[in-house]
Structure 1
Amino acid sequence: MSDLAGLTEEAVAALTPKRPCVVVAAIAGDEVVVRGSAGVDGTTRFEIGSVTKVFTALTLASRVQAGALTLDQPLGDLLPVPDGCRITLRQLATHTSGLPRLPPGMLLDALLHPGKRDPYAHCSADFLLGALGRTRRRAPGKVRYSNFGAGLLGLALTRHAGLDFDGLVTAELGSPLSLTGTATAGPAVQGHRRNGRPAAPWHLNALAGAGGLRSTADDLVRFVRAHLGESPLSGTVRLALSVEERANPFLTVHLGWMSRRLKDDRRQYFHNGGTGGFTSFVGFDPAAGAGVVALSATARSVDGPAVKLLTALGAAG
């Protein structure tokens, strides 16, 4: 057994006691290892939650690279917004727009009804635009994580391109990288709540850009490898990673990705996600040529073992 296989299987073993349906993929240079629990492999589809935000932001970067948009273009060029709303596409992609985490009223509803079935299904385009008109926005510039903002970015990009969210992601990212299992539509493995009970699938409607995608470990490996070497999206990736907003002394936000600087001055890029029945982590260390994908069909974080694996691969690289 190779060291990479052993490390990957250790991560699976660390996750499976409370997460019976998991898959972990490890990338080290040209070598890729994918390991899953019983009945799960690299083709199994999971809800990936907020990892979707990376796809949404990379789609923006791709459109900017093509000359169709600019990062500092006002949202009002793409969507009908309230008077005085000067939010830019860059701000939406970096969580610096001043928008709250969720549209008005939804955070309280989430706190009062934490197990609510399919809690974002009602988020139509009209609902989001109406909510924007009712929102008291803070001054832009400071990083404040916003599902609302990411959803508006996805909606704006689809309106501008004349495509639905799946069509846009496929055109800009999926087709160039041969991502055949990544979309909001289609079946996924059964998800489970934290207590192990079956969870209803989530459908984010017009908020899809914040967390609506389903994907596979195989697709996410292709996506990560596009960040580790030359690919059809190399220019898009360079643009996305070149944008930096400091969230705090330890965390930097890019277009979609977040990063942290390690003691040896390397940088890890990552994003995690979660829905009612799933959790996810995707990360990479470009200096070491390493990457990790971890997907679970239980709503328990996979971050600890995934970050441990990525750090080990980075140190070995």
Structure 2
Amino acid sequence: MASMRAMRVRRPAGVIAATMAVAVMAGCSAGAPQAEEAGASTRYSGDEELLQVIRPSFSGPDDIAAVALVADGEVRTAFVRADAETRFEIGSITKTFTGLLLAEAIERGEVALDDPLGIHLDLDDAPVADVTLGALATHQSGLPIFPSDPEWQQEAAALDAEGKDAVDETLDELLALARAEQLPNDPTTAYSNFGAALAGQALAAAAGTEYRDILAERILEPLGLEDTSLPIEDDDHVKGLAQGFTGDRRKADPSTLGAFAPAGGIVTTVEDLARYAQGVIDGPYAGSAALEPNPFGDGDYGYFWALSSRGDRDLVSHDGMTTGFTSALLIDRTAGTAAIVFVNRSSRPVHEVARDLLGQVD
């Protein structure tokens, strides 16, 4: 595996003392212009070129945002009413971590891509027991995005109306819902949080531990992601988490996804995710099979990573959304660059902002 260069984050010398929630610290690369310090009322901070890109998108009264641009081994950052320690829920970007864990589990001999779920999870003789890890990783399992059980759907709708997460099942409850699913005879590509959760739990079972433990041992700790966590239960409080808002501007409760956590439960900072991106660009995950076309798919997915191209450049990416947050991670593997966008409101067009940020180093 490639060795990972140390990530350099350049910040302005001063830290602005804010009377609002937190002090504002900005990151930037050498020579990049900085946002002007304007005292306690400062909304925007960090790299001025990045701020010019994001201001039109994040100008709402409740907007809290953080972005990063990774290039040449350095990270430039910019913030809206946030700082380097502000944490955000990254939703389905979590699936990319699950994809890397799948690739590593295959290398370790713990699982195979064509393993049916029933080898690793207690699914009896239910149809889902025959679904392979490879099919799950390309969203071709036939599983719906969430459980189709009518009672579950009704409860989920009620929770969503209150600004709460619809999923917080225990592992036993997740498996019971999976056993009840009737799958199509000829499944096509259909995005499935349900499937990603089952894949992550299968990897944990194969390793003889819990998902949170293999995530920490195999990715978070090796990369030094000290500000990244996986809250699972309601009492897993996350220090520094921004207040999230629903798409219609209602306050959202923090996400605790229970056994669904492998599909979307990670909370992190923009600098930690920048370290993660660098691990994919030229670090220990640069050659991961998770980043290559999955033989179970049609070329659009690796192992939970979305694959695309721009001209002669190979891109890998994933967006994320929870009840109160939207996020995007876009990596240009050819150029060795990455853009990260976090905002504290669901249903925001963050992927477009990430593309615009990457345009700063084209």
Q: For structure 1, which segment, 14-23 or 285-294, has the greater mean C-alpha deviation from structure 2 after superposition?
A: 14-23
Q: Deviations over 1:258-278 (max 9, x none)?
A: 02222x232221111111111
1:256 and 2:304 aligned: yes
Q: Specify the alignment match of 1:233 in structure 2.
A: 285
Which of 344, 347, 351 in structure 2 is aligned with 1:297? Answer: 344
TM-score by length of 1: 0.88
CA distance in 2, matches of 1:292, 1:172: 23
Moved more, 15-24 or 215-224: 15-24
Aligned length: 307
Residue 115 of structure 1 is matched in structure 2 by 161
Q: Give the equivalent residue in structure 1 for 2:184.
A: 138
Confirm or deny: 8 A CA contact 2:315 2:333 kept in the other structure. Answer: yes
SS at match of 1:227: helix
In 1, the alpha carbon distance for the partners of 2:96 and 2:186 equals 21
Matched letter for residue 22 of structure 1: A
| DSSP 3-state at the match of 1:15 | coil
Give the share of equivalent positions with the same residue, in percent: 31
Please give the per-residue CA displacement for 1:104-142, whole angstroms capped at 9, x wherever unaligned. Answer: 234565557642443334412122111112111124663
Q: What TM-score, normalized to structure 2? A: 0.78
Find out whether 1:162 has 2:169 as its counterpart.
no
Report the CA distance between 1:182 and its aligned residue.
Answer: 1.6
Q: Distance in 2 between matches of 1:299 and 1:161?
A: 34
Match for residue 277 of structure 2?
Answer: 224
Q: Which residue of 2 aligns with 1:16?
A: 58
**Counterpart in the other structure of 1:68:** 110
The yes-or-no answer on 1:281 pairing with 2:331 is no
Determine which structure has greater relative contact order: mean sequence separation of CA pairs < 8 Å that are 6+ residues apart, divided by chain length: 1
* Contact persistence 1:245–1:252 (CA under 8 A): no
Structure 2 residue 81 is the aligned partner of structure 1 residue 35 = no
1:45 to 63, 83, 87: 87
* 1:152 corresponds to which of 194, 198, 201: 198
- CA change 1:245–1:112 in 2 (3 A) is farther
Given residue 242 of structure 1, which amino acid in structure 2 is its aligned partner? E
The C-alpha deviation readout for 1:90-113, integer Å capped at 9, x for no partner, is: 111221111111112345655576
- Tell me which of 166, 171, 176 is aligned to 2:217: 171
State yes or no: 1:2 paired with 2:32. yes
CA contact (8 A) 1:142 1:247 kept: no
1:89 and 1:240 map into 2 onto residues whose CA distance is 12
Aligned with 2:67: secondary structure?
strand
1:308 aligns with 2:356: yes
**How far apart are the structure 2 equivalents of 1:3 and 1:117?**
39
Q: Structure 1 21/42 Cα, relative in aligned 2: closer, same or farther at 3 Å?
A: same
Distance 1:245 1:253 in 2: 9
Structure having the higher helix fraction is 1
In the alignment, residue 240 of structure 1 is paired with which amino acid? A
Q: Distance in 1 between matches of 2:308 and 2:284?
A: 26
Moved more, 282-291 or 115-124: 115-124
Give, in whole Å, the separation in 2 of the partners of 1:59 and 1:247: 18
CA deviations over 1:254-298 (Å, ceiling 9, x no partner):
112102222x23222111111111111011101111101111112
Partner SS, residue 323 of structure 2: coil
Match of residue 54 from structure 1: 96
Structure 2: which amino acid aligns with 1:171?
A: E
1:146-201 Cα deviation digits (max 9, x unpaired): 01000111111222223322211011111111111222234122212223332111
- The 1:48–1:94 alpha-carbon spacing in structure 2 relative to 1, beyond 3 Å, is same
State the AA in 2 paired with 1:32. Answer: V
User: Cα RMSD (Å) of the superposition?
Assistant: 2.4
Q: 1:138 to 1:109 in 2, by over 3 A?
A: farther
CA offsets, 1:174-232, max 9 Å, x none? 11111112222341222122233321112110111111111111111011111111x23
- Distance between the aligned counterparts of 1:110 and 1:245, measured in 2? 34
Task: Deviation per CA, 1:2-33: give whole Å up to 9, x if none.
Answer: 38944421233123213620000001222310
Output the CA distance in 2 between the equivalents of 1:252 and 1:3.
Answer: 38
Unaligned runs of 5+ in 1: none
Contact 1:23 / 1:37 at 8 angstroms: preserved in 2? yes
Query: Residue 313 and residue 137 in structure 1: after superposition, are their counterparts in 2 closer, same or farther (change >3 A)?
Result: farther
Could you tell me whether the CA contact under 8 Å between 2:138 and 2:301 is conserved in 1?
yes
Aligned match for 1:104, one of 142, 148, 165: 148
Q: 1:77 aligns with which of 119, 125, 149?
A: 119
